[in-house]
A and B are shown apart, each in its own frame.
Chain A
Amino acid sequence: MSDLEQGNRNDLLISPFLIMFIIHSNQVGVGVLGFQRYIAAYAGNDAWIVVIVTGLIFHLFIWMMYRILSDGTFDIIDLHNKWFGKWIGSVFNLALMMYLLLGTIVILRTFIEVIQAWMFPELATWIPVALYLLLTYYVLAGGFRTVAGICFFGVIIPVWLVFTATAPIKFSTFSNLLPMMDHSLKDFALGTRQMTLSYVGIDILLLAYPFLKNPRSSRIWAHMGVLLTTLVYTMVMIVSLAFYSAGQLQQSIWSTLIAWKVVELPFVERFEYIGITFWCFVVFPNICLTMWGASRVGKKVLHIKQKYFVIILIAFVFTVCVMVVNRDQVDYLNTLTSIIGTYVYYFYIPFIFLYSMIWRRVKKRI
């Protein structure tokens, strides 16, 4: 039985539509500021098709997840324990926690790398890390409903940035997208593997599921979340392909930010500074969600009060973030996450999906 089943259960729950914001905000992070060149390296001018294809694959993952979670209001921690027993289940759960923590560290450290590269080269890493983690503690102390609220605002507040895409269009060559489908299946597959990193984050559904009112009816909203992400990524990719020439795109580390350089506003010369500032709102829900997920594992598996466990996690994340000192290490972290993310999505989720199907069949027969 989930611990939510007792007491004022309804007070802890969130409306099903919020899962859209949770999923979308956990997917979109720092990656969107510079994912273009990695995809274009394989799929060239067809990179935008890769973005859509990967989005469709993630719809499939959402479908799988809802099948996995379909009976009762359990989260993946309960299910691990139920299916694999306490010991193996705990190994799975702790691995999940490490994966979530890695997510926190990667996004936080990469975003601070952006701040240091663009705005304040002299800024010591620990200062923004400390500020962010203090805020995270504040939000987590409010419980999951506060986290969900942060996700909502993390999507709504920066949403106007979508309109800034009109500025680069003035200098764009849309024939760059032609000829369509000019790449081999292998290029598409390799591009999709690269693109996976930008889409990961829907795993939070496996933990947030029991916190939804009428969890079954939330499915449509989860799909909407992925759809929103796909639309945003596709737009960014198409604009980038048209704004940069192929060779130039490969040179640009933060393509989205560089494209913001041509936004002209009467009161500010460098629009990226506003963009990066607003990106704080995009990054923050990611940190809150992954930390929240990790602390759930701590609570259920290690039986430490969430309040205290969060402090341990924050200390851990802080230490690791400060230890990462240069761009190569940040790159390494990103590559590592990309590889682990690929395994999680293309092996672990299908595996657990099949396992749950078989398990249910077997149980029925008995």
Chain B
Amino acid sequence: MKYACCLALFCFLLTGCVAEEIIDEVPILFIVGYDQGEDEKIKGTISLQTFDPNQKVETRAFEAEAHTSKGLRNQLSGLPKPISIGKMAVLLFSEDMAEKGIIDILDSFLRDPAAGRLIYVGVVEGSASELIKNEFQYLQGIGPFLQNLIKESIEYGNMPQNNIHLFDYKYYGDGMDPVAPVLRMEETEVRITGLALFDDDKLVGKLNLDEMFMFSLINKSFSAGLYELELPGGEYANLQKIKSKVNYKVKNGNTNPSLNISVKLNGNVVEYTGEKLTKEKKKEIAKTFEKKVEIQGVNMVEKFQELGIDPLSIGDHARSQTRHFDFEKWNEHYPDLPVTIDVKVNIGESGIID
């Protein structure tokens, strides 16, 4: 009798405490795009997918305008509810939106316990809304497609690591500024066209694909995809599996700082347009590559100094190497910080034939 009572009591306790959400019925949100709307509003575009086991995956795009990100949800009339943001994969911002600052919108995702921290933040050249609503046929839908696109270019390509967590990390951290991939919709596909540079949360500049590669090499130890190098003789060599080992040395961080970045690169030559890949040629390739990284690297840092941003986290490196580091003094010194880059390239394998 006692046990029966207990059992009954527990059954009563365990039912319907909170609203249920069944995966097959809840529409899943993978991607949101933000554009500048009319009179200070933001325009949000979402693409929803429903996974009904009886039908094929259904994707639909919706659009609304409001003053806040969560406010958009109320505006999305005719939308199946509740929406689950647990699988949110990509947040896109149009350039004009990103120039005004995006932290308010990111904050709404960072604050929400249901949202992940591996969400990618991207900047769209043109309209984010059009990119989401485009009619290219993706098997998995636009959200998962873009997620894979960015993920693969980080893992196998030349893009530095980035996601909403790292954006937040660099936004709130001193002596560093966030970066994000730039996307563009072209006639038949969506492409990554470079790296967006932020001053805090405001877009202030961009790197193209070539510069992005250099950025990745000197940013932190990294292993990149493929790079096509032009040699002085007019030939081309393709380098693959490039591994970089990077070391930042800041001297006199508080008084009269100077920076030296030493980069050790290791790569394989997989394609060469010249006649024969001799030892001398390999040396030449290495020398050319060293020069290129040094010159482009220094130019890039100078560009950052002019823009007053620090996407390479130089300030943070200085902090970690200086006792009682003073950020105020650092910010004064940063624009005229002398920077040198030493690059050592080692060409390893060159394929299975000579």
Contacts from A to B (Cβ < 8 Å): 117-124, 127, 130-131, 171, 173, 175-176, 178-179, 182, 244-248, 250-251, 258, 261-262, 264, 269-270, 272
Task: Please give, as numbers and ranges, the residues of chain A lying within 8 Å of B321 by CB-CB distance.
Answer: 178-179
The answer to whether A127 touches B17 (Cβ under 8 A) is yes
B166 is an interface residue with CB less than 8 A from chain A: yes
With a cutoff of 8 Å between Cβ atoms, the chain B residues found around residue A262 in the complex are: 116-118, 165
Flag if A272 contacts B113 (CB, 8 Å).
yes
The residues of A that contact B322 with a CB separation of less than 8 Å are 179
Given contacts A247-B174, A258-B117, A270-B86, contact A175 B317 (CB under 8 A): yes
| Chain B residues within an 8 Å CB radius of A179 | 320-323
Asked if B320 and A123 make an inter-chain contact with CB atoms under 8 angstroms apart, the answer reads no
Q: Is the CB of A245 within 8 A of B172?
A: yes
Interface residue? B4 (CB, 8 A): no
| In the complex with contacts A178-B320, A179-B322, A248-B172, A171-B166 CB distance below 8 A | yes
B13 to A248, Cβ gap below 8 A? Answer: no
The tally of residues in B whose CB lies under 8 Å from a CB in A reads 31
Q: Is the pair B18, A123 in contact by a Cβ cutoff of 8 Å?
A: yes
Beta-carbon contact of B117 and A261 below 8 Å: yes
Taking a contact as CB atoms under 8 Å apart, the answer to whether B169 and A244 are in contact is yes
* Residues of chain A with a CB closer than 8 A to B116's CB: 261-262, 269-270
The smallest beta-carbon distance between B86 and chain A, in angstroms, is: 5
B303 to chain A, nearest CB (A): 23
Closest 5 interchain pairs by CB? A245-B173, A247-B172, A178-B320, A248-B172, A261-B117
The answer on a CB contact under 8 Å between A176 and B320 is yes
Bound-complex Cα distance A119 to B112 (A): 11
**Closest chain B residue, CB of each to CB of A128:** B17
**B170→A269 contact, CB < 8 A:** no
Q: Nearest Cβ distance between residue B108 and chain A, in whole angstroms? A: 14
Cross-chain pairs A/B with CB under 8 angstroms, 19 sampled:
A118-B113, A121-B18, A130-B13, A171-B169, A173-B316, A176-B320, A179-B321, A182-B323, A182-B324, A245-B174, A246-B173, A248-B171, A248-B172, A248-B173, A261-B117, A262-B117, A269-B87, A270-B114, A270-B116
Docked pose: A258 CA to B18 CA in angstroms:
23
Partner of B18, one of A120, A178, A182, A248: A120
Total number of A-B contacts with CB less than 8 angstroms? 74
Q: How far is the CA of A117 from the CA of B111 in the complex (A)?
A: 11
B interface residue numbers (CB < 8 A to A):
13, 17-19, 86-87, 113-114, 116-118, 161, 163, 165-166, 168-174, 176, 313, 316-317, 320-324
Question: Do A264 and B118 touch across chains, with their CB atoms under 8 A apart?
Answer: yes
Q: Are A269 and B320 in contact (CB under 8 A)?
A: no
B147 to chain A, nearest CB (A): 12
Closest residue of A by beta carbon distance from B117 = A261
Contact B320 A175 (CB under 8 A): yes
Q: Is the CB of B18 within 8 A of A251?
A: no
Least CB separation from A127: chain B residue: B17
Q: Are A261 and B118 in contact (CB under 8 A)?
A: yes
B65 CB to nearest chain A CB (Å) = 27
Residue from the list B19, B161, B169 in contact with A248, Cβ < 8 A: B169
B170:A122 contact, CB within 8 angstroms: no
**Residue among B13, B117, B321 with the highest chain A CB neighbour number at 10 A:** B117
- CA distance in complex: A120, B20 (Å): 10
Other A-B pairs, 14, CB within 8 Å; known A182-B323, A272-B113: A123-B18, A131-B13, A173-B313, A173-B316, A178-B320, A178-B321, A179-B320, A244-B169, A248-B172, A250-B172, A262-B117, A262-B118, A270-B114, A270-B116
Smallest Cβ distance from B134 to chain A, in angstroms?
A: 26
Which of these, B17, B118, B174, contacts A246 with CB under 8 Å?
B174
- Is B86 in contact with A269, judged by CB distance below 8 angstroms? yes
Candidates A122, A173, A261; contact of B19 at CB < 8 Å: A122
> What CA separation (Å) do A26 and B114 show in the bound complex?
30
Report chain A residues within 8 Å CB of B173: 245-248
- Roughly how many angstroms separate A118 CA and B115 CA in the complex, as a whole number? 10
Shortest C-beta distance, B283 to chain A (Å), equals: 34
A248 to B87 alpha-carbon distance, docked (Å): 23
Q: Could you tell me the distance between the alpha carbons of A175 and B317 in the complex, rounded to whole angstroms?
A: 8
CA distance A258 to B165 in the complex (A): 10
* Chain A residue contacts of B166, Cβ below 8 A: 171
List B contacts of A261 (CB < 8 A).
116-118, 165
Contact assessment for B17 and A117 in the assembled complex, using a CB-CB cutoff below 8 Å = no
Contacts of A264 in B (CB 8 A): 118
The chain B residue with its CB closest to the CB of A271 is B116
A250 — which chain B residues lie within 8 A by C-beta? 172
A253 to B13 Cα, complex, angstroms: 30
Q: Which residues of A contact B320 (CB under 8 A)?
A: 175-176, 178-179
The answer for the CA separation of A264 and B147 in the assembled complex, in Å, is 14
Cβ-closest chain B residue relative to A138: B6
Complex Cα–Cα for A173 and B114 (A): 25
The distance from the CB of B176 to the nearest CB of chain A, in whole angstroms, is 7
Instruction: Give Cα A244 to B87, complex, Å.
Output: 22
The residue in chain B whose Cβ has the minimal distance to the Cβ of A178 is: B320
Nearest-Cβ distance from residue A249 to partner chain B, whole angstroms: 8
B17 / chain A contacts, CB cutoff of 8 Å: 120, 122-124, 127
A127 B13 Cβ-Cβ under 8 A: yes
Question: What is the bound-complex CA distance between A211 and B42, given in angstroms?
Answer: 66
A350 CB to nearest chain B CB (Å): 34
B317 to chain A, nearest CB (A): 7
Chain B residue nearest in CB terms to A175: B320
> Which residues of chain A are within 8 angstroms of B324 by Cβ–Cβ distance?
182
Say how far B219's CB is from chain A's closest CB, in angstroms: 11
Kindly report which residue of chain A lies nearest to residue B175, judged by CB atoms.
Answer: A245
Q: Which of A121, A131, A246, A269 has the most CB of B within 10 A?
A: A269
CA A123 to CA B322, docked complex, whole Å? 49
- Bound together, the chains give a CA A200 to CA B117 distance in angstroms of 32
Kindly report which residue of chain B lies nearest to residue A254, judged by CB atoms: B113
Q: Which chain B positions have C-beta within 8 A of A269?
A: 86-87, 116
In the bound complex, CA of A120 to CA of B113 (Å): 11
Nearest residue (CB) in B for A276 is B113
Distance between Cα atoms of A250 and B323 in the complex (Å): 21
Across the interface, which residues of A come within 8 angstroms of B118, CB to CB? 261-262, 264
When the two chains form their complex, are residues B165 and A245 in contact, meaning their CB atoms are under 8 A apart? Answer: no
Q: Which of B13, B86, B169, B317 contacts A245 (CB 8 A)?
A: B169
B13 neighbours in A (Cβ, 8 Å): 127, 130-131
Contacts of B176 in A (CB 8 A): 245
Inside 8 A of B113's CB, which chain A residues have their CB? 117-119, 272
Please measure, in the bound complex, the distance between the C-alpha atom of A5 and the C-alpha atom of B324, giving whole angstroms: 60
Closest residue of chain B to A272 (Cβ to Cβ) is B113
